[in-house]
Amino acid sequence: MLKIVPLVLFVGAAAFVSTSSLRDARADAGIAVPVITVHAKEFAFDIPKSIPAGPTTFRLVNDGKEFHHLSIIKLEQGKTIADFGEAMKAGKPPEWAVAYGGPNAATPGQTIAATIDMQPGNYVVVCFIPSPGEQMPHVAKGMIAPLTVTAGGVTQAGAVTEPDPKPDLHLVMKEYGYAFSKPVTPGKHTIHVMNEGAQDHEAVMLKMAPGKHIADFNAWVMSDMKGPPPASTIDGLAGMAPGRTAIFTADFTPGTYAIICFVGDKSDGKPHSEHGMTTEFEVK
C-alpha cells in the first residue's frame, strides 16, 4: 500500500461478474477466532513469534508517526527470513514468497484488522510502505519480523477471541478492477475479499476528503506522499496471492470512497493503479 516497493480509473464495478467458487468456510463455521494484536512503530513490529494454525484475526495498532501496514507472507520451499531478505534485493518477491494479506493500512493512532486463514509454516510480516518523501520501504529499515504458524496448536486459555466474522459483502479483485457483490450502504460491513486474478492484488480502502477523487490520492502517493493526504484510510487488505481470500470489517458513513491497488505488475513493474486498478463509489 502507498507506493509499495515492489508490492503498493476503474469505474463501474458491475462490469465484473464474480464466477468465484472461493467462499470462506469460516462464514458458516460458528467458531471463535483468536485475535493477535500487533503493535507497529518506526520501524518495528511487536508480534508473537509463534501462533497456532487456523483462522486468525490480526489487529494492527499503529503506535508510530507514519503509515504502517502488516503484510503477511508465507515462505515456502523451506526458505527463511534471511532468504527472503536476500531475494528482495533483486527488487521483486520470489515465487516461494506467497502473499496472505493483512491489515492495510493504518494511519498514526489507528487500529485496523483482518481475518486470515493461516496454514502451518514459516512466515514473515513486513511493512512495504515508505516514509514521506522517500522511496525506501520500511522493510529496508528493518520493519520485518519472523512468524511461525504451528500445526495442531491450541489457543491458550485466557487468549482474546472474537466470534467468527460473518460476511455480508463480497469483494472480487482481478486484473484490473474490483467488484462488490452489492452496493455498499451506510453502516458496518464485514467484507469477504477474493483474489480471482492471475497476480497478487491488494485493497487499499479510502474515504475521500470532500471534493477529492481517487486520481488526487494516486497523484499524492506518486509524489512521495508530500503534504496532507486527500483521503483517510479505513480497514482493507494487504497484497494477496491468486486464489487467496480474507475478511475485514469497516464502518461506512455517507461520502465518497475508493479502492486502489499499488502492487507491481508482473509485466512491467508498474503499480496496478497505473493499469487502471482503482474504483470509486458513493455511500448514501
Q: What is the CATH number of the domain that holds 195?
A: 2.60.40.420
> 31-40, 93-102, 127-136, 155-164: which has the minimum mean pLDDT?
155-164
Q: What is the mean pLDDT of residues 110-137?
A: 94
170-224 per-position pLDDT tens digit: 999 999 999 999 999 999 999 999 999 999 999 999 999 999 999 999 999 988 8
Q: What is the pTM of this model?
A: 0.88
Residue 184: alpha-carbon gap to chain centroid: 19
Task: Let me know if residue 4 belongs to a domain.
Answer: no
Task: Let me know if residue 1 belongs to a domain.
Answer: no
d(CA 217, CA 215): 5
185 and 123 inside one domain: no
Contact 128, 143 (CB under 8 A): no
> How many other C-beta atoms are found inside a 10 Å radius of the C-beta of residue 242?
15
Q: What's the grid cell of residue 43? A: 520501524
Domain that residue 187 falls in: 13-18+164-283
Contact 258, 267 (CB under 8 A): no
Alpha helices in 89-190 (DSSP H): none
Total domains in the chain come to: 2
Task: Let me know if residue 110 belongs to a domain.
Answer: yes
